């Protein structure tokens, strides 16, 4: 997926869990501010405030100030603790990320949960990055890896088109994470193809996959990552049961629809300023049905030159 640092590829339907938890905690504290939870920071601030003279303020005013500062500090501490938890790098943290998404209803099937647990996200982000935070991350060349909840959403939408033996195409494959997930779902009898127009990212994605649970599929050829213009698809293994596009197109590219198998599904963000995640289903008679899943914000599906210029 191609994204600049100023763009967050969140679905507007789904509020980021970390912020949601922090805000929920803040709201509870606000309602219960007469008995704020105490922490070392709260105690330190309270002690300092007791020792300070509030010229012109009543005792009630001083107490209200201390209560509000206590609420703010406890909310900050809660958010920092959550951030530290998701910044881990172990398999347990990857499973924790999946459990987190299940808890918020983003992941609804056992198969999607299983594949996201199996493919460790930390292998597909730059070293030192907080791999398990629910946010997109820079991967270089004006590109990012999508937020975990967006990957989960797309896997859910495509699950029935990623059965063993099926063919899947990932346009804008980036570091290879979602392509690896596709490969595990379609198995060695199927094909998972990633297309990325930045050669350096393709080289990185191959190395990432080689360290992951999908490595045997890369070796036997059922998973492949190619340099190319994803707007033209990848005809060699067409028709596809599932196609995913990780950048927003002004309209649905005809080559991708043409390479979609009858009964197949394409998931693609469409639009310019206002964008929607479109679900395109090709019926058995060759006709196409399009529906909107949710509002999103992606960078444009464009040429390599435009991407490197920063669009």
Pick the CATH number of 91-308 from 3.40.50.150, 1.10.1240.10, 3.30.460.80, 2.40.50.100: 3.40.50.150
Task: Identify which of 202, 198, 156 has the alpha carbon closest to the alpha carbon of residue 181.
Answer: 156
pLDDT digits (tens, 9 = 90+) for 139-193: 999 888 989 999 999 999 999 999 999 999 999 999 999 999 999 999 999 999 9
- Sequence ranges of the domains in the chain: 17-86, 91-308
pLDDT digits (tens, 9 = 90+) for 41-70: 333 334 444 434 333 445 555 666 666 676
Q: What is the pLDDT of residue 58?
A: 52
Q: 153 with 11: CB under 8 angstroms?
A: yes
Active-site annotation, residues: 146
Q: For residue 78, what are the contacts with CB-CB under 8 A and spacing of at least 6?
A: 21, 22, 25
Q: 169 with 193: CB under 8 angstroms?
A: yes
| E strand or H helix at 107 | none
d(CA 174, CA 220): 21
pLDDT over threshold 60, residue 120: yes
Q: Name the residue with higher pLDDT: 87 or 97.
A: 97
Model's pTM, two decimal places? 0.74
CA angle, 113 then 116 then 121, to 5°: 150
């Amino acid at each position: 997926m191609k994204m600049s640092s100023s763009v967050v590829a969140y679905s507007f339907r789904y509020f980021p869990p970390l912020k949601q938890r922090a805000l929920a905690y803040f709201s509870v504290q606000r309602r219960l501010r007469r008995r704020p939870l105490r922490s070392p920071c709260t105690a330190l601030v309270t002690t300092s405030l007791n020792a300070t003279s509030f010229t012109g303020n009543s005792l009630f005013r001083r107490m209200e100030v201390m209560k509000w500062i206590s609420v703010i500090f406890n909310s900050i501490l809660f958010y920092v603790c959550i951030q530290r938890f998701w910044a881990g790098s172990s398999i347990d943290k990857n499973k924790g990320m999946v459990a987190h998404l299940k808890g918020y209803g983003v992941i609804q099937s056992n198969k999607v949960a299983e594949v996201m647990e199996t493919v460790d996200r930390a292998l597909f982000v730059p070293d030192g990055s907080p791999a398990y935070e629910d946010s997109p991350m820079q991967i270089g060349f004006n590109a990012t890896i999508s937020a975990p909840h967006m990957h989960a959403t797309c896997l859910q939408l495509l699950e029935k088109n990623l059965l063993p033996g099926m063919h899947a195409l990932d346009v804008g494959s980036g570091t290879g994470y979602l392509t690896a997930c596709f490969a595990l779902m379609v198995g060695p009898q199927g094909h998972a193809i990633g297309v990325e127009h930045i050669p350096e990212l393709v080289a990185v994605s191959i190395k990432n996959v080689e360290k992951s649970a999908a490595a045997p599929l890369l070796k036997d050829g059922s998973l492949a990552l190619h340099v190319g213009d994803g707007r033209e698809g990848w005809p060699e293994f067409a028709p596809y049961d599932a196609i995913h596009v990780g950048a927003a197109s002004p309209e649905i590219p005809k080559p991708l629809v043409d390479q979609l198998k009858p009964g197949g599904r394409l998931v693609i963000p469409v639009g310019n300023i206002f964008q929607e995640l479109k679900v395109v289903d090709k019926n058995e008679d060759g006709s196409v049905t399009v529906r909107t899943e949710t509002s999103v914000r992606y960078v444009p599906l464009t040429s390599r030159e435009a991407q490197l210029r920063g669009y």
